[in-house]
């Protein structure tokens, strides 16, 4: 079957699988803050002294609204919001540290948003040093942040570099002015060139660009123009994402254009295949889903070593069992459970001031969840999974394999007695393969659309 008809066939709403179970299927009815604390303490004992822990900090402030964005954010030009937010995050961090009988050993730290570079270099310095004052740093730690090309200064880059950050990603999206106006993200190539070259000059070892296809008014020619300009700067890694159009979830922020302004699924797939070919021609390798890296980048090496990991931060080059999320809407992961912070800034401040860890929902994984989570991680990170041993087997596996038979016939996957592997043709459909393993999705087929389209 030709690729185009496969797109028609498999382009359905589906999760991006930064977790399993996915958030809409968390069992909130039986979840409690006490359970969350217990699962964290268990994970901390198992992993802190060996691999360390990860921290994700959500810094939600932006000066203007980008209409493609699906993140939790607060639009403001008032920079006096920075200091109270940092105070709250450090207080939240202290509450987590109080759960443990030794200092956390930080292996990974990521600043996401929002716009982390909304914060001044001085305030970022205060924030990071405040975290470090309660912790130790693991050998081979990796610190990263997301920078906006329009407001990331040399001082931002130097300050964070001096604190141990070596990876930065810049949101590019698309260089065409019509597309930029539609998504309310005007940024010239010169701005991206400045921050990329400055980061490289300072000594950052992994510089990433985020590019999106499937945006309103975007054409094949626009993608070619953006990739061509990107190749001039040769970032170490590239995230080449499909635009997730979910206005029913994200509200008016994604209603700055009409559905008819978006490329068709077929055109989106062509945009991706064109971009992929242009990137591979200059030495980038496709990694997992939506990512490309040069052979010198840690993500490429993690793929080669089969140590690539995926969590709420996306793909990471190293794995920790435990991740603590700090700030509004952040999600933590103990491997045995997930916990998400409240999304409203005012409620977050209220709970912090009451000395309450601001979790409002979560999920504790049962044995079936844990096994399926391993399969989905294998598929998303390595393009294959297996059930050689009892640990990877679960009730319902035969039904999963039966559901996948059509994908076998379409030559998207190959299944042997105890292993499944995506074919090169099947790689773009990895989310669909994972959906067959997703027993919660199969049992509770949602009545309304919860997810973006898979293609």
Measured from the Cβ of residue 39, the count of other Cβ atoms closer than 10 Å reads 22
Q: Is 360 within the bounds of a domain?
A: no
Measured from the Cβ of residue 98, the count of other Cβ atoms closer than 10 Å reads 10
Last residue of a domain, one of 309, 326, 343: 326
Task: Give the chain's domain count.
Answer: 2
Q: Do 292 and 265 share a structural domain?
A: yes
Please choose, from the candidates 268, 178, 156, the residue with its C-alpha nearest in 3D space to the C-alpha of residue 220: 268
Give residues with Cβ within 8 angstroms of 353, minimum separation 6. Answer: none
Q: Is 76 within the bounds of a domain?
A: yes
Query: Residue 12's pLDDT is what?
Result: 84
The DSSP letter of residue 30 is S
Q: Do 308 and 190 share a structural domain?
A: yes
Q: Do 189 and 287 share a structural domain?
A: yes
* Residue 65 pLDDT level (bands cut at 50, 70, 90): confident
Q: Is 96 annotated as a binding residue?
A: no
Q: Do 159 and 38 share a structural domain?
A: yes
Q: Do 44 and 5 share a structural domain?
A: no
Helices (H) and strands (E) in the chain, counts: 17, 19
Q: Is 357 within the bounds of a domain?
A: no
Please choose, from the candidates 423, 422, 414, 365, the residue with its C-alpha nearest in 3D space to the C-alpha of residue 394: 365
Q: What mean pLDDT is predicted for residues 176-183?
A: 91
Q: Do 73 and 203 share a structural domain?
A: yes
Q: Is 185 annotated as a binding residue?
A: yes
Low-confidence winner among 4-8, 241-245, 388-392, 446-450 (lowest mean pLDDT): 446-450
Per DSSP, the three-state class of 348 is helix
- Is a pLDDT exceeding 50 seen at residue 248? no
Query: Residue 190's pLDDT is what?
Result: 97
Which residue would you say has higher pLDDT here, 11 or 58? Answer: 58
Between β-strands 291-293 and 285-287, what pairing exists: parallel, antiparallel or unpaired?
Answer: antiparallel
Q: Is 395 annotated as a binding residue?
A: no
- Is a pLDDT exceeding 80 seen at residue 258? no
Q: Do 51 and 10 share a structural domain?
A: no
Q: Is 70 annotated as a binding residue?
A: yes
Domain that holds residue 10: 1-21+366-455
Query: Residue 3's pLDDT is what?
Result: 60
Residue 295: Cβ-neighbour burial (10 angstroms; 0-12, 13-18, 19+): exposed
The DSSP letter of residue 71 is S
Average confidence score pLDDT of the chain: 92
Q: Do 222 and 91 share a structural domain?
A: yes
Q: Do 85 and 11 share a structural domain?
A: no
Last residue of a domain, one of 295, 326, 357: 326
- Is a pLDDT exceeding 60 seen at residue 233? yes
Distance CA 208, CA 236 (A): 6
Q: Do 37 and 2 share a structural domain?
A: no
Q: Is 348 within the bounds of a domain?
A: no
- Is a pLDDT exceeding 70 seen at residue 250? no
Q: Which residues pair with 112 in a beta bridge?
A: 58
pLDDT digit string (tens) for 321-355?
999 999 999 999 999 999 999 999 999 999 999 99
Q: What is the CATH number of the domain that holds 452?
A: 1.10.10.920
Last residue of a domain, one of 326, 343, 376: 326
- Top mean pLDDT of 8-12, 128-132, 183-187 is at 128-132
Q: What mean pLDDT is predicted for residues 185-198?
A: 95
- Is a pLDDT exceeding 90 seen at residue 22? yes
Computed from CA positions of residues 222, 223, 228, 229, in that sequence, does the dihedral angle turn out positive or negative? positive
Q: Is 332 within the bounds of a domain?
A: no
- Is a pLDDT exceeding 60 seen at residue 68? yes
Q: Do 2 and 74 share a structural domain?
A: no
Q: What is the CATH number of the domain that holds 102?
A: 3.80.30.20
Q: Is 115 annotated as a binding residue?
A: yes
17 and 453 Cβ atoms separated by less than 8 Å: no
Q: Is 352 within the bounds of a domain?
A: no
Q: Is 62 annotated as a binding residue?
A: yes
Query: Residue 151's pLDDT is what?
Result: 94
Q: Is 333 within the bounds of a domain?
A: no
Q: Is 208 annotated as a binding residue?
A: no
- Is a pLDDT exceeding 50 seen at residue 152? yes
Q: Is 364 annotated as a binding residue?
A: no
Low-confidence winner among 33-37, 141-145, 347-351, 440-444 (lowest mean pLDDT): 440-444
Q: Is 346 within the bounds of a domain?
A: no
* Residue 156 pLDDT level (bands cut at 50, 70, 90): very high
- Is a pLDDT exceeding 80 seen at residue 449? no
Q: Is 331 annotated as a binding residue?
A: yes
Per DSSP, the three-state class of 382 is helix
Distance CA 233, CA 14 (A): 34
Task: Please report, rounded to a whole number, the percentage of residues in the chain having pLDDT higher than 90.
Answer: 77
Q: Is 113 annotated as a binding residue?
A: yes
Task: Please report, rounded to a whole number, the percentage of residues in the chain having pLDDT higher than 70.
Answer: 94
Q: What is the pTM of this model?
A: 0.92
Q: Is 80 annotated as a binding residue?
A: no
Q: What mean pLDDT is predicted for residues 442-447?
A: 75
CB-hemisphere CA count at 13 Å for 295?
A: 3
- Is a pLDDT exceeding 80 seen at residue 4? no
Q: Do 12 and 111 share a structural domain?
A: no
């Amino acid at each position: 079957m030709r690729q185009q008809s496969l797109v028609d066939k498999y382009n359905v709403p589906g999760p991006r699988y930064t977790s399993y179970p996915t958030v809409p299927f968390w069992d909130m009815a039986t979840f409690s803050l006490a359970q969350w604390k217990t699962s964290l303490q268990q994970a901390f004992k198992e992993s802190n002294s060996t691999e360390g822990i990860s921290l994700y900090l959500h810094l939600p402030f932006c000066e203007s609204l980008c209409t493609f964005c699906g993140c939790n954010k607060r639009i403001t030009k008032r920079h006096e919001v920075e200091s109270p937010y940092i105070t709250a995050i450090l207080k939240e961090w202290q509450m987590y540290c109080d759960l443990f009988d030794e200092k956390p050993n930080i292996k990974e730290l990521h600043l996401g948003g929002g716009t982390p570079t909304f914060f001044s270099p001085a305030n970022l310095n205060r924030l990071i040093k405040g975290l470090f004052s309660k912790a130790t740093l693991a050998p081979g730690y990796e610190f990263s942040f997301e920078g906006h090309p329009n407001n990331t200064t040399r001082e931002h880059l130097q300050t964070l570099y001096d604190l141990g950050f070596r990876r930065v990603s810049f949101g590019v999206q698309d260089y065409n002015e019509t597309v930029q106006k539609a998504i309310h993200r005007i940024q010239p190539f010169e701005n991206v060139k400045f921050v990329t070259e400055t980061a490289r000059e300072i000594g950052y070892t992994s510089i990433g660009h985020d590019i999106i296809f499937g945006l309103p008014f975007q054409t094949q020619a626009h993608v070619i123009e953006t990739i061509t300009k990107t190749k001039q700067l040769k970032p170490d890694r590239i995230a080449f994402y499909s635009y997730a159009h979910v206005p029913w979830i994200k509200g008016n922020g994604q209603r700055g254009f009409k559905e008819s302004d978006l490329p068709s699924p077929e055109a989106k797939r062509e945009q991706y295949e064109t971009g992929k070919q242009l990137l591979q021609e200059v030495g980038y390798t496709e990694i997992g889903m939506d990512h490309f890296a040069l052979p010198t980048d840690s993500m490429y090496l993690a793929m080669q070593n089969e140590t690539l990991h995926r969590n709420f931060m996306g793909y990471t080059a190293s794995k920790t069992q435990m991740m603590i999320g700090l700030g509004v809407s952040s999600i933590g992961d103990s491997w045995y459970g997930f916990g998400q912070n409240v999304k409203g800034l005012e409620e977050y401040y209220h709970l912090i001031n009451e000395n309450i860890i601001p979790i409002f929902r979560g999920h504790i994984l049962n044995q079936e969840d844990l096994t399926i989570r391993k399969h989905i991680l294998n598929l998303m990170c390595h393009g294959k999974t297996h059930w050689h041993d009892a640990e990877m087997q679960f009730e319902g596996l035969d039904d999963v394999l039966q559901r996948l038979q059509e994908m076998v016939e379409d030559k998207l996957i190959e299944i042997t007695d105890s292993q499944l592997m995506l074919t090169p043709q099947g790689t773009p459909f990895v989310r669909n393969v994972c959906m067959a393993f997703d027993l919660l999705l199969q049992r509770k087929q949602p009545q309304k659309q919860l997810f973006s389209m898979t293609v």
